[in-house]
Amino acid sequence: MDQTKIDALRAQPVPAFSHLIEGKHVPASDGGTMDILSPIDGQVLTTTAKGTAADMEAAIASARAAFEDRRWAGQPPAARKKVLMKWADLIEANALELAVLGVRDNGTEIGMALKAEPGSAAGTIRYYAEALDKIYGEIAPTPSNFLGMIHKEPVGVVGAIIPWNFPMMIGAWKLGPALAIGNSVVLKPSETASLSLMKMCDLALEAGLPPGVLNAVTGEGKVVGEAMGLSMDIDVLVFTGSGGTGRRLMEYAARSNMKRVYLELGGKSPHIIFADAPNLDEAAKVAAGGIFRNSGQVCVAGSRLLVEASIHDDFVAAVAKAAEAMRVGDPLKVDTAIGAVNSEVQLEQNLGFVETAQSEGGQVVTGGGRILQDTGGYYMAPTIVTGVTPDATLTQKEVFGPVLGVTSFSTDDEAVQIANATVYGLAGGVWTSNLSRAHRMVRDVRTGVMHVNTYGGADGTVPLGGVGQSGNGSDKSLHAIQKYINLKTAWIKL
């Protein structure tokens, strides 16, 4: 990365952002705007349109019209592939600009952002572009005088609500398969980090996506998100975010047209370290990165560290040493390992969890407080708390910040019991040299993704989905396409 180029992009003023409806940038219907604060320094970065329910209804109507006249769904697969491939190329060509804009908006360190945001988004769009002309219908094994055909059709209009931690990456997880199959999409980005995703939508139009096929409305979840959830014209709703919001979206679906709702929610992912790990030094560094990168604002973050009792003290000390070596600071500096917390509200919530952990008997080994206050930004020291019991708040509640709770165990069965002692089941990890133990952990820990002797980094060829209150359905891989398809049977008498 070139620090000079990053600094030049950082110095550029950010124009005001408006909705994208029917291929045009339009303001909120009542003229309202929202200030966007940069977590780097707490200053106003720009404004976005503060959407109304009428704005969301207009975007949905545009998407519905685009689907019904088949301006996208009716194009041959090769034509849709060409557009999506060009879109991926444009994302890559503008990668640094997009990454810097996103960092200014949400605080992710630039080294992670460049790879995880435009890099990942381009790869995801390209993956589904390659897949779309390889999705076939089926012929059923029917009696000889009948022909049973199973058609795979786009569902119609998809509503996608995207979080602030990785807006481009997670946005592409929804957009890639939904658009590849021929659906129209309405996006609702996070009110605290929407800029890079909105810019990515502009590149889709530049690539040749017809107007109306992709619309985006910015604004508050309680207004435009609710309007999307209650719409009678949204056929499938996909969401990544908190459990509380996920429940409301399910309620909205029940109150409206009973739309399908797919949710990727929170996690309290257990990272299990056995004494026979192949490399404990590496495990300690990976454990630190698995919770502290992006200030812990990662759905699959290994926020619970389960350590075999015989190595507990030494291993915690190694993780603390690795954490303290990770430089926290300006996320647009290439030597920064941990950037800013997304907002002051999130920072205060993180600090509140540390206070609660201490009141419940936990001991802070390192970190625990706000740092770099003179910058005006939102920064927190990587924090490790030991003595965290299975029923403690730090075990049961998602922090979504740079706070690691540590619990010791003595047996395999105890490790599994502690790992499964929450309502969540998104991700997990285990370090061991025992092949049988590794397979037992993969089998017995209730989670959607289980890492063995590594943590994080699973690519787009494998699904990401949760069990329990971590959600339903899967993002990534060919399995994600099923969320955006209707099966239609043709039963033909010959």
The residues that are catalytic are: 264
Give the angle subtended at the CA of 100 by the CAs of 94 and 104, to the nearest 5°.
Answer: 145
The pair of structure tokens assigned to 101 is 């804009």
- Write the single-letter amino acid at 486: N
Residue reference for tokens 């106003």: 44
Give the angle subtended at the CA of 208 by the CAs of 205 and 212, to the nearest 5°.
Answer: 55
Closest CA to 73 of 368, 485, 461: 485
Phi-psi region of 325 (alpha: psi -120 to 50; beta: other; left: phi over 0): alpha
- Write the single-letter amino acid at 342: N
* Helix/strand/coil (H/E/C) assignment for every residue in 110-151: HHHHHHHHHHHHHHHHHHHHHHHHHCCCEECCCCCCEEEEEE
Cα 10 from Cα 14, distance rounded (Å): 9
Q: 190, 346 in Cβ contact below 8 A?
A: no
Closest CA to 477 of 466, 467, 485, 465: 465
- Write the single-letter amino acid at 133: D
